Structure 1
Amino acid sequence: MKSLVVLALVAGLLAAPAPAPAATPPARTAPPAQTAERASTARTIHLGGVAVTLHSGTTQVVTVNRSSGHLARVSLYQRVDGRWRRLTTTTDGRIGYGGLVQGSKRRQGTGTTPLGTYALPSTFGTHRQRSDWDLSHRLIRSGDFWVQDNASDYYNRYRNQRDGGFRWWLKGHPESSERLTDYGKQYEYAIVTTFNQSQVRHRGAGIFVHVNGKGATAGCVSAPLWFLTSLFARLDPERRPVVAIGR
């Protein structure tokens, strides 16, 4: 009988479930909000009250901060010894008569200035390139246009009428292009921006930083003559300059 009892006890022990292992604590990770904040900080800074999306290698930024109506404060910042320094500024900047709009929502002919950050790759104007101008430059010549013809492969491009490819003869038409020689004062000094570089039709063409006219612009950013001459002498392609337009 004793042997039967011992066998029953052994069988019961073998059938009993093993104790569950202790739970392993979850790995510690950084809070998602903090991770997102660090990523955002790495891409965006604020200068002169304007959010700037830095391009790779950018150490020069022109900020455009609307003050009231079509007026804006326009400033040039440069990164020196690890810090951003304001080199020059004007309170007599201008924006479009239609106000400001998100770049992706802009429509041609609305007189709006696109919000956002855009590269400043080149210049053009009524003067030949000088030794202290480092950006690529074009001298305006007879027949030069900035194409705003949505049917053209050269939409939002610099083009001479002799080269064809756009309806340069359109006048007073929603898709008429800008004859650059017609704006000798504003385009004495003009800096090209990369707004709508991908040529999205009807989004708009020819958004520049140029010399002030009489009032608001048709969508460009403008500033006094002295400010533009200062930009021409200071902007350096190796610093990957951009313009950041904010509210």
Structure 2
Amino acid sequence: MIIRCLVACQLLLAGLLLTPAPAAEAATVTLDGVSVRLRDGTRQVVTVNRTSGTYARVTLFRKKATGWTRVIQSPGRIGYGGLVVGTERRQGTGTTPLGTYRLLYTFGTHARASSWDLRHRTIRAGDYWVQDNRSRYYNRYRNKANGGFRWRLPSSDYNSSERLRDYPKQYEYSFVTSFNYAAQVRNRGSGIFLHVNGSGATAGCVSAQRWFIRSLMSRLEPGMVPLIAIGR
């Protein structure tokens, strides 16, 4: 009897080990026609769907118990050079990178409001976004007083950095994306933001109406791992 029980238990255990594990949540989802590569815990996604030329539809989605739900939507713009695969992008081409990226933190002309949950920096004199390919701070927010990049280069120079105070309208409210942020691949491009609309196409960023970007400042939460997904 004991031997039979042992054999039965061994067979049962073998069966359990061979049983496939439950399927994990899909790594991708399509929202407003845009393919989104999800991260663990993502429940907020901003999609960018090009409609024609340099125009796009920018939409905030949130995942609820019933699935993904559209929250707010705005007309938007992309780069004057159109769209390009992220890994093929080159600095100075005015192209917007396709793909899914984290929304890391915000910056702008206003001090941080109590309703903003993402980390925030208020633009002050001497603040730049570094586009100097020789700098260790490439694709980083940096003040010229701290050095480490050639901030004196004229705007016509390929390696000139972007003085943030020069764009008070666009950068009133702005989100930093993770495009080329961790790896810092030189000449791929830097400063791909989600910001307020200017007068036309961007130099590679995504822009949307002021009310929309301002609303995102209060809606996006780090615990929901917000993403931006740029598609065609």
Q: TM-score, normalised by structure 1?
A: 0.83
Correspondent of 1:63 among 47, 50, 63:
47
How many Å apart are 1:121 and its aligned residue?
Answer: 1.2
Name the CA distance, whole Å, in 2 between partners of 1:138 and 1:41: 35
How many Å apart are 1:42 and its aligned residue?
Answer: 1.6
Q: 2:162 matched to 1:181? A: no
Q: Residue 59 of structure 2 aligns to which amino acid in structure 1?
A: S
Instruction: Name the residue aligned to 2:186.
Output: 201
How many Å apart are 1:39 and its aligned residue?
Answer: 8.2
Correspondent of 1:77 among 50, 61, 64:
61
Residue 68 of structure 2 aligns to a residue whose secondary structure is strand
Instruction: Name the residue aligned to 1:44.
Output: 28
Q: 2:222 matched to 1:242? A: no
Q: 2:142 matched to 1:162? A: no
Q: After superposition, where does 1:1-247 map in structure 2 within 5 Å? A: 42-90=26-74, 92-171=75-154, 172-197=156-181, 198-247=183-232
Q: Residue 202 of structure 2 aligns to which amino acid in structure 1?
A: T
How many Å apart are 1:100 and its aligned residue?
Answer: 0.1
Task: Extract unaligned runs of 5+ from structure 2.
Answer: 1-21
Task: Extract unaligned runs of 5+ from structure 1.
Answer: 1-37
Name the CA distance, whole Å, in 1 between partners of 2:220 and 2:60: 9
Name the CA distance, whole Å, in 1 between partners of 2:53 and 2:109: 30
Query: Aligned residue pairs: how many?
Result: 209
Name the CA distance, whole Å, in 2 between partners of 1:142 and 1:210: 20
**Cα shift readout 1:60-111 (whole Å, capped 9, x = no counterpart):** 0000000000000000000011410000001x20000000000000000000
How many Å apart are 1:40 and its aligned residue?
Answer: 10
Name the CA distance, whole Å, in 1 between partners of 2:212 and 2:231: 19
Name the CA distance, whole Å, in 2 between partners of 1:115 and 1:40: 26
Q: Percent identity?
A: 63
How many Å apart are 1:164 and its aligned residue?
Answer: 0.2
Name the CA distance, whole Å, in 2 between partners of 1:146 and 1:208: 11
Q: TM-score, normalised by structure 2?
A: 0.88
Which portions of structure 1, spanning 4 or more consecutive aligned residues, are displaced by more than 4 angstroms? 38-41
